[in-house]
Amino acid sequence: MKVLVVDDDRGSLLVAQAAVVASGHECIVAVDGDAAWRLYQEHRPQVVVSDLMMPGLDGLSLCRAIRAAESDSYTYLVLLTSHGARDDVLAGMEAGADDYVAKPLDPFTLRTRLLAAHRVTSLHAEMAGYRRALAEQARTDPLTGLHNRLKLSEDLAAFESRSERYGHDYALAICDVDNFKSYNDIYGHPAGDAALQAVAAQLAAHARASDGVYRYGGEEFLVLLPGQSRKGAVVLLERFMTAIQALGIIHSGGTTGVLTMSAGVSAWRPDRRVGRDQLLKEADTALYQAKTAGRNTVAVHGS
């Protein structure tokens, strides 16, 4: 663990530092509360052992600041107090401390507190990992492994906010696998699922690192293209469509004999500040135009 020890008394600081190192942990030291707060923000230690009374931020203020700054991590807070200072102990616990050690500091006592801190912080880290995994699972389409509509909604809101603030162009495209219902009818749903997985893999492989690729629903996919005009988006979508056709997935019910894809594009630009819902409607309309034009093509809203 990484342990931050804060004490303006040099003797206590050295005793605490020695106990931390003897326990096999990395030790960072500070001699006042303000320095401790800066070191906490820089290093994010798992444990903070802090004197109650010290220059700058006192122990209670430091505890409150750390608790307010935590997000998906947990810091185990140990306060150093005087013997018999029951009111100080209670105030420390109310401020967010987990435990306390009375002064003069006993190295053995501090080492036992570090054992408890290791167990607690390890459990919190494990739970944080589970929460991150569940959050990612909630935003991932189980069939294709692409982002799903929940993640799309979050990303579109972020795109809209950044574009309104900085005037950055972006485009989006709704893509649809051509004649997919007949593909399922001819080859069966397991084959249809495999085809969707192959299409998703191609889209992800040919997307730029900054692009977002999502399963929009059924055989539909959506691609977010930051920094792209309508013209640039068409170039990228044609690349995607060529990659899908190059898979060579046989489709006797299609017009080309293999599985293909159509796409509809809409774009945001500084002189055309439309909302994300409007962009989605425009892309869907353009997709319909691509379908009626014979499929395996890209249509652009407003062109």
pLDDT tens for 197-230 read 999 999 999 999 999 999 999 999 999 999 888 8
pLDDT for 268 equals 87
Digit-coded pLDDT (tens) for 124-149? 888 888 888 888 888 999 999 999 99
Digit-coded pLDDT (tens) for 268-279? 888 777 888 999
**239-274 burial by CB neighbour count: b if 16+ within 10 A, else e?**
ebbebbbeeebebebbeeebbbbbbbbbbbeeeeee
Confidence of residue 48 (pLDDT cuts 50, 70, 90): very high
What is the amino acid identity at position 284?
A: D
Pair 171, 286 in one domain: yes
Cβ proximity of 264 and 286 under 8 Å: yes
Confidence of residue 255 (pLDDT cuts 50, 70, 90): confident
Pair 192, 260 in one domain: yes
- Domain membership flag for residue 143: no
- Domain membership flag for residue 25: yes
pLDDT for 84 equals 64
Share of the chain above pLDDT 70, in %: 99
- Domain membership flag for residue 144: no
277 exposure class (CB count in 10 Å sphere: 0-12, 13-18, 19+): exposed
Q: Of 53-57, 145-149, 158-162, 215-219, which range is least confident? A: 158-162
pLDDT for 162 equals 85
Pair 227, 163 in one domain: yes
Pair 13, 111 in one domain: yes
Tokens (6 digits) for 240: 């995607």
Pair 270, 190 in one domain: yes
- Domain membership flag for residue 233: yes
126 exposure class (CB count in 10 Å sphere: 0-12, 13-18, 19+): exposed
3-state per-residue secondary structure call for the chain: CEEEEECCCHHHHHHHHHHHHHCCCEEEEECCHHHHHHHHHHHCCCEEEEECCCCCCCHHHHHHHHHHHCCCCCCEEEEEEECCCHHHHHHHHHHCCCEEEEECCCHHHHHHHHHHHHHHHHHHHHHHHHHHHHHHHHCECCCCCCECHHHHHHHHHHHHHHHHHHCCCEEEEEEEECCHHHHHHHHCHHHHHHHHHHHHHHHHHHCCCCCEEEEEECCEEEEEEECCCHHHHHHHHHHHHHHHHHCCCECCCCCCCECCEEEEEEEEECCECCCHHHHHHHHHHHHHHHHHCCCCCEEECCC
Count of domains observed in the chain: 2
Catalytic residues: 219
Per the structure, the complete domain to which residue 7 belongs is given by: 2-138
**CATH number for 182:** 3.30.70.270
- Domain membership flag for residue 167: yes
- Domain membership flag for residue 291: yes
Of 72, 107, 138, the residue that ends a domain is 138
Pair 190, 275 in one domain: yes
Pair 156, 292 in one domain: yes
**CATH number for 24:** 3.40.50.2300
pLDDT for 7 equals 94
User: Other CB atoms closer than 10 Å to residue 13's CB: what's the count?
Assistant: 21
Mean pLDDT computed over every residue of the chain: 92
